[in-house]
Structure 1
Amino acid sequence: MTGAAADTVRLTLDEVHALCADTLTGAGLGAAHAQAIARSITRAQVDECHSHSLYRLIGYVGSVRSGKAERHALPTLTRVTPAVLRVDAHRTFAPLAIETGVPALIEAAKTYGIAALAIRDCYHFSALWADIEPAAEAGLAAWCFTIGQSCVAPAGGTQPLLGTNPIAFGWPGPEGRPFLFDFATSAAARGEIELKRRAGEPIPPGWAVGPDGAPTTDPAQALAGALLPFGGHKGSALSMMVELIAGPLIGDLTSRQSMAVENGDGGPPLGGELFIAIDPAVFGAESLASRLADADELFALARQQPGVRLPSERRYAARERNREGVTLRAKLVAELRALSAPA
């Protein structure tokens, strides 16, 4: 289990899953939630999505122990209309709510051509690409949006107002590998900055300003100040769109409102998540194969250009590379195992 380098540890995927699940149940979280979170974290770790992988376990445990998140309540699914679904998470973590709602979303989109799913009142810490990948694998085009802690200034400002407010899109790509992208509307995800802080590394210019409103490359100052939107007014406008459709539209909190009820335990923010899924067959089943082939041609032409890497290709390569296990920093593994000690 120990890697070649003294500062690394090799874990199988079963060991990663067990580390997560056992730590969470040991902290008092219900088994169903612990297993769902373990699946989410393991998936992110395998795909080398480090901003949402094992280090997130620290925040989950913090929220369990602080009492912020409900430990045992189970999410409930409601069909508002045949094609509009709602999952009430009852202030539990998002992964089990997502696993509850997404299969119903896929069924509704396949039946009616288009469907929407609102997940409300949940603590969300997972990567959106993983949330919508099952829908894209089922042959659907899918979008997903969620808010976050108020840590991003609108374009031209220096005070936190918006969340990192990610957007994800999935398309049923060739060879069973969907075209997926998932990115924050801030210049960098908050998790990326937290990882830089933990590693003692600077962040690039243009990512954030400090508490005084001046540009900074210090991740600690960035977290104390405000992150910046990508692309200036473009990222800012997209972020506000996410605020509206993952907040007031579905009856949940804005990022500012979410931040107001935070308790500082380092865990995920309270909020909502909106999914939209469309079955391409609804626009003509007889021409579906041709239209999907046109999309595949677009991907192939892009790949022909030197230097082009399509979104999700890096994750798929990591997934293949890590099928037998992952190599982790020994310091992180020791930190995570210490979470199992009595609080």
Structure 2
Amino acid sequence: MTNELRISETNLIALAEEFLSSNGLNIAQSRSLARTLVEAQRDGSFSHGLQRLPGTLTTMSHPQFNRDADPQPHDLSVAAVQIDAQFGFSCLAAERGIEALVEKAHDVGLAMLAVNNGFHSTALWPLVERISNRGLVALSMNPTHAWVAPAGGNRGLLGTNPIAFAWPRRDKPPAVFDFATSAASRADIAMHRETGTEVPEEWGLDNQGKPSRDPAKILAGAMLPFGGHKGSAIALMIELLAGPLIGAFTSRESQSFDQGADAAPCHGELFLAFSPGVFGGAGALDHAETLFSGFYEQGARLPGDRRYRIRENSAREGIRVSSPLLDRIQVLMGAAI
């Protein structure tokens, strides 16, 4: 990143929180979303970090958005908890539901959390990492908008439908992955549009259903799933598990709900938490370490390792933020104040 500054995590969270609260978002949501966005920025996920902060204003302008949402979890069973995000940002609801999820998973061995009616926040990995730091295996997924054509199709039907997974480790941070089931995330394609650079042809189609390398044409047309029919099938699974299964929107329904407001997708989010001790006994984590060592023996990178290296560097030197983005945030914040 050129033309950048290095800013401490504490100062960036304070800036993001002030931006959100000055634009009318209640304190609880502002704190939750600010922390999540800065965590992504800290770990080098710039497309899911502060780059998304200006766009929160569009989402908060949606006629159904609730700036005063105060979600509270309620039990469905000994192994299931549900929380209504009340049409605020989903991250606050997820954070509040996770406490009950963790407790149930430790008691029962497997638990699920359904978050409903939340506007999409950012990456999924910060929350599954938090669950895994409590000694649990974690899985999360959600639909988005119907931006992605199924394999063999030519127009949007599925969402980018991210999925995240975290595995706990002794004396080490969890092994974590988080990726969209589209060939690239929508935020990454948008960043290419902003910089005027082409993208690989397999990333998407124009509005005529033809392959394109122009990010603007893909954003106006349809994205493609990764891995052809395999990625398409995984995206379908996520639509069903984090949509109809938990009484939430599919990606097409979420896009209809948007009513052309261009807000972040409003959707459900599914979390699953597993206790490795209940199922695999005391040796479960040791068996996993044997597998992980095989990655390092081959010089391969374990999921999450790069993110943790960037995190360590951010702690030493400050978090990287582009000056133009910071200027834009401060201008928008000044207009709100």
Give the TM-score category using the shorter length.
over 0.9
For residues 296 and 170 of structure 2, the distance between their equivalents in structure 1, rounded to whole angstroms, comes to 13
For residues 323 and 98 of structure 2, the distance between their equivalents in structure 1, rounded to whole angstroms, comes to 35
One-letter amino acid of the structure 2 residue matched with residue 310 of structure 1: L
For residues 29 and 273 of structure 1, the distance between their equivalents in structure 2, rounded to whole angstroms, comes to 21
2:131 aligned with 1:160, yes or no? Answer: no
Paired residue secondary structure (1:235): helix
For residues 99 and 69 of structure 2, the distance between their equivalents in structure 1, rounded to whole angstroms, comes to 20
Q: Which moved more, 1:180-189 or 1:275-284?
A: 275-284
How big is the alpha-carbon RMSD for the aligned residues of Structure 1 and Structure 2?
1.5
Which of residues 278, 286, 301 is equivalent to 1:293? 286
Paired residue secondary structure (1:143): strand
Contact 1:150 1:161 in 2 (8 A): yes
One-letter amino acid of the structure 1 residue matched with residue 117 of structure 2: D
Which of residues 3, 14, 31 is equivalent to 1:18? 14
Contact 1:59 1:266 in 2 (8 A): no
- List aligned pairs for 1:45-194, cutoff 5 A: 45-194=41-190
- List aligned pairs for 1:253-272, cutoff 5 A: 253-272=249-268
TM-score, with length taken from structure 1: 0.94
- List aligned pairs for 1:207-286, cutoff 5 A: 207-283=203-279, 285=281
Paired residue secondary structure (1:119): strand
Contact 1:159 1:213 in 2 (8 A): yes
Residue equivalent to 1:338: 331
For residues 328 and 89 of structure 1, the distance between their equivalents in structure 2, rounded to whole angstroms, comes to 30
- Relative distance call for 1:12 and 1:265 in structure 2 (3 A) is farther
Contact 1:61 1:339 in 2 (8 A): no
Following superposition, which runs of at least 4 residues in structure 1 exceed 3 angstroms of deviation?
Answer: 65-68, 263-267
For residues 287 and 124 of structure 2, the distance between their equivalents in structure 1, rounded to whole angstroms, comes to 26
For residues 314 and 67 of structure 1, the distance between their equivalents in structure 2, rounded to whole angstroms, comes to 40
Contact 1:165 1:243 in 2 (8 A): yes
Identity of aligned residues (%): 41
TM-score, with length taken from structure 2: 0.96
Runs (5+) with no aligned partner, structure 2 = none
Residue equivalent to 1:311: 303
Runs (5+) with no aligned partner, structure 1 = none
CA displacement at 1:200 relative to structure 2: 1.7
Contact 2:62 2:258 in 1 (8 A): no
